[in-house]
Structure 1
Amino acid sequence: MSGTPRWVHPRFWLPTLVALLAAAAAWTWVARENPYVLPSLSSVGQQFLDQPELYLTNAWTTLQEALLGLLTGGVAAALLAVLVCESTIFRRGLTPLAVILNVTPVVAIAPALVVAFGFGMLPKVIVTGLITFFPVLMNTVTGLRSVDRHVLQVFRTVDASRLDVLLRLRFPSALPYLFSALRVVFPLSLVGAIVAEFSAAGAQAGLGTLISVASSNSQLDRVFAAIACLAAMGSLMLLVVTTVERRALSWHDSQHR
């Protein structure tokens, strides 16, 4: 029926269910044949039942680092994208620096940031911001410059100001590109936070720290329980971005295909 929600239909949820069951079966077989490579799913689940507060507390720490870094890197990238789009001087001067920053291994920078700023949240936020900065910058620049030239000519014909062109034409045009970047960088921000936690050997909280300590003690079930938390967090973040995108871009062709 036309009024039935899409998620009710088996074609919506059945492929995902089959894929998850197949992955669980493969995991169970590997864990049984190679217990020193993969822990059993039951032992991973038992970790959550035995110490739920341990994973919730560390997950919250990592999530804060990821979101703050994403906010910092995303805002900086969006502002710089506007400058690059509006000014040829800024485009020629700042784009090469952004490329250099992108190709610089963040893993190599992270220990120096820990030395400079200590084991608190700041170096982790900086690392996450650096990782998420470039995708947002390039997609936003592409979106701002992808306006229809005929429509742009109409704006110029009516003597629209640069601010009007930016807010009423360029920004709506950039939204699909921006959300495309956000679908990538939201889960990627978790990677940045974990990389920073790995580099901060003295850190006391975070899933990265939990994974590092558990690995050194050969606690595979704890390692994979923390990884499962990260996977769940990344999936939830992606779901939030996708939901907001559908509502914000309900007028765009990409949402009606």
Structure 2
Amino acid sequence: MSTTEHSPSPAAHDARPPRRRTRVPAWLHPRTWAPTAVLVALLAVAWQAVAREHPYILPELGEVGRTLVEEPSLFLENAWTTLFTALIGVLMGAGGAFVLALLMSELDVVRRALMPIAVVLNVTPVVAITPALVVAFGFGMAPKVVVTALITFFPVLINVTTGLRSVPGPVLDVFRTLHASRLEVLLRVRLPSSLPYTLAALRVVLPLSIVGAVVAEFVAAGSAGGLGTMIRNSAATARLDLVYAAIACLAAMGVTMLALVTALERRLLFWHESQQDPAR
């Protein structure tokens, strides 16, 4: 028997299924996280150098970490107070802005009437009116929620209004040809078109709501809890470890909220060009 009868033919090699390459998530690739890791390490080294030379300006990172580990319940309780205020405020501010954006996209008279007032509210320093809000709403959580709602109101209003009015004219012409009602156009065209703008606004206002809650805790009299109140009281007694530990908690809360919105955006906008992989 000749050896050529047992040798595999080229066609047999070609018939083998190609080996499937395992795709590594982009965030695991070193080029994604390495620059940030290097920068964080350099900042930590610089922080430690300043803290050793000037302990009255910055506490050492180890001291901040020990404060967080030794008193976790204190930070969790105050973090929840701030987070609850932020969530209620963003629910009121973003929810009200979304409803007004729907009205403004459907009724030009409402848009012409409300937009100037919204602009005035946006350019008015909220900190300046906080004492008046305390007088109006008392010393409880209400003025802090109102401040947070005002801070988060305008970005959602502008983004959602832009998204609702960004439908291409030919698409609207097709729906008019089909005799679609205004409600059908709103549900089938305008709302899906506004979804990228709405989620982009949430990426801004959810972390911003934390800022609003902290600012309200700074300014509003009678604040008995919250990370903002902790920072204010700790700074008054020169407890810098508590100040920066509370700031670390606020940063973690903001990053977590941003990560949740980003994950929701990827899930809902898988069809949108902003979520497409440019390497494909």
TM-score interval w.r.t. the shorter chain? over 0.9
Give the whole-Å Cα distance in 2 for the aligned partners of 1:39 and 1:94: 48
- Asked if the contact 1:182–1:241 (Cα under 8 Å) also holds between the matched residues in 2, the reply is yes
TM-score, normalised via structure 2 length: 0.89
Q: Which has the larger radius of gyration?
A: 2
Residues 140-174 of structure 1 show CA distances to partners (whole Å, capped at 9, x for unaligned) of: 11111111111111011101111111111111111
Mapped contact 2:127–2:215 kept (Cα < 8 A): yes
Q: CA offset at residue 68 of structure 1?
A: 0.7
**In structure 2, what residue type is equivalent to 1:137?**
L
Give the secondary structure class of the aligned counterpart of 2:58. Answer: coil
Give the secondary structure class of the aligned counterpart of 1:237: helix
- Encode CA deviations 1:230-256: one digit per residue, 9 max, x unaligned: 000000000000000000100101000
Asked if the contact 2:105–2:161 (Cα under 8 Å) also holds between the matched residues in 1, the reply is yes
1:39 corresponds in structure 2 to 59
Aligned match of 2:121: 101
CA distance, structure 1, for counterparts of residue 67 and residue 212 of structure 2: 25
Query: Equivalents in 2 of 1:170, 1:234: separation in Å?
Result: 30
1:244 aligned to 246, 264, 267, which one? Answer: 264
SS in 2 for 1:36: coil
Correspondent of 2:252 among 227, 232, 245 = 232
Matching residue's letter, 1:198: F
- Equivalent position amino acid for 2:104 in 1: V
Instruction: Tell me, yes or no, if structure 1 residue 29 matches structure 2 residue 49.
Output: yes
Aligned to 1:58: 78
Identity of aligned residues (%): 61
User: Aligned-pair distance for 1:119?
Assistant: 2.2
Partner SS state of residue 82, structure 1: helix
Instruction: Select 1:146's aligned residue among 143, 166, 176.
Output: 166
Contact conserved, 1:114 with 1:199, CA < 8 A, in 2? no
**Partner amino acid, structure 2, of 1:123:** P
CA distance in 2, matches of 1:22, 1:168: 50
Task: Map 1:1-257; keep pairs closer than 5 Å.
Answer: 1-256=21-276, 257=278
Deviation at 1:71, TM superposition (A): 0.7
Deviation digits for residues 93-133 of structure 1, max 9, x if unmatched?
01111111111110011111122222221111111000000
TM-score (norm 1): 0.97
Shift of 1:7: 3.1
- Counterpart amino acid of residue 207 in structure 1: L
Question: CA separation in 1, counterparts of 2:142 and 2:57?
Answer: 35
- Whether contact under 8 Å (1:119, 1:203) holds in the other structure is yes
Q: 2:148, 2:235 → 1: CA distance?
A: 23
- Answer yes or no: is the 8 Å Cα contact 1:78–1:140 preserved in 2: yes
Bigger mean CA offset, 123-132 vs 193-202? 193-202
Residues of 1 paired with 2:119 and 2:146: CA distance? 17
The ranges of structure 1 where at least 4 consecutive aligned residues each deviate by more than 2 angstroms after the TM superposition are 1-9
2:130/2:219 contact within 8 Å kept: yes
Residue 85 of structure 1 deviates from its aligned partner by 0.8
